[in-house]
Amino acid sequence: MEADAVALLSTLHTKVNRLPGDTLKVDPGPSSWQMWKDDPGSPCAHYRTMFGVGVTPVVLVSVPGSGSTWLRYLLEAATGIFTGSDYNDTILYQHGFLGEKTGVKDGSTIVQRTHGPAFYLTYIHDLQDRYEAISPQRPTILLLRDPARTIISYWKLFNLEGTKNKHVLEIPKSRFEGGDFHDFVSEMTAMWEELASDRLLWTTGPLYVIHYEDLVRNTLTHLRHLLHFLNVPVDEGRLACVASHLEGDFKRNTTTKWGYDPFTSDEKLRFATAVKRVNRLLTLLQYPQLPPDHRLS
């Protein structure tokens, strides 16, 4: 049993093993995007993002509101290869995330974003179904963020669904005061823990855990670590451009303009309990814990 545990840890902490034929080749076809084209005269303006050819599948898993769109921007900027998703968000597509288009072929994106089975089936009671739904052998990036801040960000997105700037707009204080918000908090706290726990307990392929707070605090260092995990060569020219264009178009401000804490004491206790359980799993698997200085008090 101890040998099995050592073998699992060794696998979890390895980097992506690129499949035969995967040389991170890009498709020079018409579908490309210049994300820094509005910076004329800059050496960054000429960089293009393109689809890949035969790229090894890697999943990016997070709860909505965890910063996955910003992380996708960073990965596309650093690698020059589009990321994909399970959703087909037309707003993101119009802003250059061409991997959002329905029908994008497997092997054409550097990572494929998903929010996990809980967000499609709302609680899968059968453990075997949950296990099979996460594709446990696929290389995985698990993006975690403090649940309180995640829920604030997701609630904004949820309330702005159907609006042109849903990813960055604010909502009024009144939308945090009704019973529907507190029902949302209860459901999302459970889903946050379920998504994190399922991936930590059941992933058997290479797994990289990144905390949003750490990515914000030291973006380029953690981006380099991610590129190492993905087994992607570092392009210093691209990274220099990332350093001068860190925000992208969709890095949402999750604080409230009115300095309002919308959570009850019971909700904060539930956050703390969920974080404690997830941190225990992170420690057992030798991953860093959620940064404590970023939690809402």
Task: Return d(Cα 166, Cα 42) in angstroms, integer.
Answer: 30
pLDDT in tens, 235-263: 999 999 999 999 876 655 555 554 678 99
In the 8-state DSSP scheme, what is residue 81? B
151 in Cβ contact with 189 (< 8 Å): yes
Closest CA to 114 of 134, 130, 95, 131: 134
pLDDT for position 177:
86
- Tens place of pLDDT per residue across the chain (297 aa): 566 677 778 899 999 999 888 989 998 888 899 999 988 888 999 999 999 999 999 999 999 999 999 999 999 999 999 999 887 788 888 889 999 875 666 789 999 998 765 554 445 556 777 777 778 899 999 999 999 999 998 998 888 766 655 555 677 787 888 889 999 999 999 999 999 999 999 999 999 999 999 999 999 999 999 999 999 999 999 999 999 999 876 655 555 554 678 999 999 999 999 999 999 999 999 999 999 744 443
* Distance set, CA 256 to CA 218, 246, 260, 278 (Å): 23, 22, 6, 26
At residue 116, the pLDDT reads 64
Cα separation of the two ends of the chain? 40
Contact 211, 66 (CB under 8 A): no
In what helix (H) or strand (E) does residue 142 lie, and over which residues does it extend?
strand 140-144
Q: What is the pLDDT of residue 295?
A: 44
The whole model's pTM is what? Answer: 0.90
Nearest to 249 by CA among 166, 138, 158: 166
Domains by residue range for the chain, with CATH: 2-294 (3.40.50.300)
Q: What interhelical angle do 265-284 and 147-159 show, nearest 10?
A: 120
| 295/45 Cα distance (integer angstroms) | 38
